Structure 1
Amino acid sequence: MDLNKIKTDYNEKINKAKNSAKLELIRIELLGRNGLINKLFTEIKTAPNPKEYGQQLNLLKNELKNIIKEKSNNTINVDSKIENCKLKIVNSFGLPKVGHLHPITITERQLNEVFRKLGFSIYSSPEIVTNEYNFLRLNVPQNHPAMDMQDTIYIKQPQCLLRTQTSTIESYLLQQQSKNLPIRAAFPGCVYRNEKVNRSNHFVFHQYQAVVVDKGVTMKDLIGTMDLMFKTLYGPSVVVRYRCKYYPEVEPGVGPDMQCFNCKGKGCVLCKYAGWIEMGGSGMIHPKVLQMAGIDPKIYSGFAFGMGLDRWTMAENYITDIRTLMGGNLAYKPNEL
């Protein structure tokens, strides 16, 4: 057998080996116990010049060993670089993580669960509404400051605007369900106001509204419902106070305040050094609002309240800046804010 041809052929094979595994297969094929070189050694006795043939065969074996060894060292270095590169990629970028719900969505669903257990239905409605349903049907006077351009975001279509409160849904619902009483409904959603953005305020935020209309509904029912809601979300030790407030759509009106979670009532930037955070507005539905919806206020009464979902979420997750909820940082987890 032509030893020079064997050397040339296997030298080419060795150089073409792209990794350690392929190189090892060539080594076994050539130098293994049952490899080509050992088979050639068995043919020495039948060679025309056994001594010279044996010397040439030993020389070929050593040369091929050296070629394989050199190639192996280079291949190991390449494999090592590839492996290090893989490790760097993993260390730099990490494995894909499972996403999570936005904290506001989590709070909204928690509230939905509370009210479903109390027999409430959950509703939604368009965010572009008319002036009539956003203001007039809620007993807001035509010349009320809230209707000014500096407070409300109007669109080009006449008498249309981005809703400033989820009470708008209440206006639609009372009219639609006026012949199908009683009503127990809750409705979360986005609202828009021409607000200056800071730690506590944003031009787009979220509210959670609830309304009950039935015979014999009293202020005691309103306070009891809100107490249950606060304690369900924040535990029995939560501190809440109720103050008399004025809202056009209710009479009387009350405002629930929760003790500031950041300073525990001592006063800080978040609560504007008051020790309390205003959580929303509530009260007994004004008789005029019921009348405009076609409901007789002499027979039926009701309560309504609207809460800032953003502030609920901030309190639950110890967030001190509302802009965190509206920012583009998606890397946080709700319990790590």
Structure 2
Amino acid sequence: MINLNSKIINIKDLLQKLEKNLSQVNSLDELKYLWREYLGKGGIVKTLFEGIKTLTEKGKKEKAPLIQELEKTALKLFEEKEVELKKSQSEQELIKQTENLDYTIPKIGHLHPITQTIRMLNKIFVEMGYSIMDGPEVEIDEYCFRRLNVPQNHPAMDMQDTIYIQEPKILLRTQTSSIEARVLENYKPPLKVVCPGRVYRNEKPNKSNHFIFHHYQGIVVMEKISLKDLFGSISYLFKSIYGPDVKMRFRNKYYPEVEPGVGADMQCFQCHGRGCQLCKGVGWIEMGGAGIIHPNVLKMTGIDNKKWMGFAFGLGLDRWVMAKYNITDIRTLLGGNLGYKYYENENII
């Protein structure tokens, strides 16, 4: 035990010695050893506190505050050194981790823009009271063509447009309208259904077309319905995705499964209506087709076409993604590019 009666406590000298010792510490283990020397059981500060017991009352009053000040300052110095060492250790570990880091490794994967678009549209339509249905990608011509009022000699059935797995019956579906035929056959109206999915056409890929793309079919069957209801639903969808100022148009167009039929176009997002390669010089891009369901389609699926009527629409999903995020080449959507970050802040389900 230190005899405080025979020693003068020099706080300044002790702290200078401690600071010198701390400056030579290079690891947390060394710091722990030095802490024991000064503040641990049997250390310098604890020994000084024990020595107070041997002092007179006057000596205790004089030297106890000095030892307390020494302990307080020493604790602060040790804490600061610990923070410094931990920071240095973290930096060294980070350097080791990055020494062999391959900066060419692709970023972590995420949901494809098409998948996110489908979820976004699903959310909108579910809020409008629609159900979501799925169906097979390998289909038979009965559901892909016959039940949709497509005549035997229609150009769409030609091998130049359709990819056949086994002629003449088994094929890769050309649109998710095939799900529409199955829904109408198996469910009773009233109906409000959307059918998203991947489809296939015998196309030569270019900026605006691909042999693999995505289709979003929708059908509504009620006792009373009109083109006004159809236009209102599609207009609401366009404005929900592209904003209230989106420029769109409807034009007459023939589709076997609807009568009358319309094409839903949006002003080209690349040239803004002036005409370019993407819109093929017309200033507009076709985003989908629609119309009042043909009575023959209802009749072939067992629905009373005198009591019920409906509308259907089909959207080219890839073009919707291109339009919303200014992608000018549809082929990039199937290129495995992980750089798409368009939807990071979208409220999707």
So what's the TM-score if we normalise by structure 2?
0.70
Rounded to whole Å, the distance in 1 between the matches of 2:168 and 2:151 is 18
Aligned match for 2:179, one of 140, 162, 169: 169
Rounded to whole Å, the distance in 2 between the matches of 1:159 and 1:283 is 27
Aligned residue number for residue 103 of structure 1: 113
Rounded to whole Å, the distance in 1 between the matches of 2:228 and 2:172 is 33
Rounded to whole Å, the distance in 1 between the matches of 2:276 and 2:206 is 15
Say if 1:88 and 1:268 are closer, same or farther in 2 by CA, change over 3 A.
farther
Asked if 1:159 corresponds to 2:169, the answer is yes
2:224 counterpart letter in structure 1: G
Asked if 1:92 corresponds to 2:103, the answer is yes
Rounded to whole Å, the distance in 1 between the matches of 2:336 and 2:182 is 34
Asked if 1:280 corresponds to 2:288, the answer is yes
Rounded to whole Å, the distance in 2 between the matches of 1:324 and 1:111 is 21
Aligned residue number for residue 131 of structure 1: 141
Rounded to whole Å, the distance in 1 between the matches of 2:147 and 2:104 is 54
| Contact residue 116 and residue 343 of structure 2 kept, 8 A | no
Asked if 1:319 corresponds to 2:337, the answer is no
Aligned residue number for residue 291 of structure 1: 299
1:297 counterpart letter in structure 2: N
What does 1:264-279 align with in structure 2 at a 5 Å threshold?
264-279=272-287
Rounded to whole Å, the distance in 1 between the matches of 2:215 and 2:122 is 13
Say if 1:115 and 1:82 are closer, same or farther in 2 by CA, change over 3 A.
closer
1:154 counterpart letter in structure 2: Y
Q: Note the alpha carbon deviations across 1:72-100, whole angstroms, 9 max, x for none.
A: xxxxxxxxx99866544347358x95542
Rounded to whole Å, the distance in 1 between the matches of 2:131 and 2:162 is 29
| Contact residue 317 and residue 335 of structure 1 kept, 8 A | no
| Contact residue 102 and residue 334 of structure 1 kept, 8 A | no
**Aligned with 1:229: secondary structure?**
helix
Shift of 1:156: 2.9
What does 1:52-201 align with in structure 2 at a 5 Å threshold?
86-90=97-101, 92=103, 99-156=109-166, 159-177=169-187, 180-201=188-209
| Contact residue 239 and residue 259 of structure 1 kept, 8 A | yes
Rounded to whole Å, the distance in 2 between the matches of 1:237 and 1:88 is 51
**Aligned with 1:92: secondary structure?**
coil
| Cα RMSD (Å) | 2.8
**Aligned with 1:233: secondary structure?**
helix
Say if 1:195 and 1:85 are closer, same or farther in 2 by CA, change over 3 A.
same
Aligned match for 1:259, one of 231, 253, 267: 267
Say if 1:142 and 1:89 are closer, same or farther in 2 by CA, change over 3 A.
same
Asked if 1:239 corresponds to 2:247, the answer is yes
Give runs of ≥4 in structure 1 deviating > 6 Å: 81-85
Aligned residue number for residue 230 of structure 2: 222
| Contact residue 291 and residue 297 of structure 1 kept, 8 A | yes
Shift of 1:329: 1.9
| Contact residue 259 and residue 276 of structure 1 kept, 8 A | yes
Say if 1:277 and 1:158 are closer, same or farther in 2 by CA, change over 3 A.
closer
What does 1:11-30 align with in structure 2 at a 5 Å threshold?
none
1:318 counterpart letter in structure 2: N
Shift of 1:334: 2.5
Say if 1:298 and 1:319 are closer, same or farther in 2 by CA, change over 3 A.
same
Structure 1 gaps, min length 5: 1-19, 29-80
**Aligned with 2:166: secondary structure?**
coil
| Contact residue 110 and residue 338 of structure 2 kept, 8 A | no
Say if 1:185 and 1:105 are closer, same or farther in 2 by CA, change over 3 A.
same
Say if 1:84 and 1:113 are closer, same or farther in 2 by CA, change over 3 A.
closer
Say if 1:235 and 1:83 are closer, same or farther in 2 by CA, change over 3 A.
closer
Give the fraction of aligned pairs with identical amino acids, expressed as a percent: 59
Rounded to whole Å, the distance in 2 between the matches of 1:244 and 1:198 is 26
1:196 counterpart letter in structure 2: K
| Contact residue 113 and residue 340 of structure 2 kept, 8 A | no
So what's the TM-score if we normalise by structure 1?
0.72
| Contact residue 227 and residue 292 of structure 2 kept, 8 A | yes
Between the two proteins, the alignment pairs up a number of residues equal to 264
Aligned residue number for residue 218 of structure 2: 210
Rounded to whole Å, the distance in 2 between the matches of 1:112 and 1:327 is 25
**Aligned with 2:117: secondary structure?**
helix
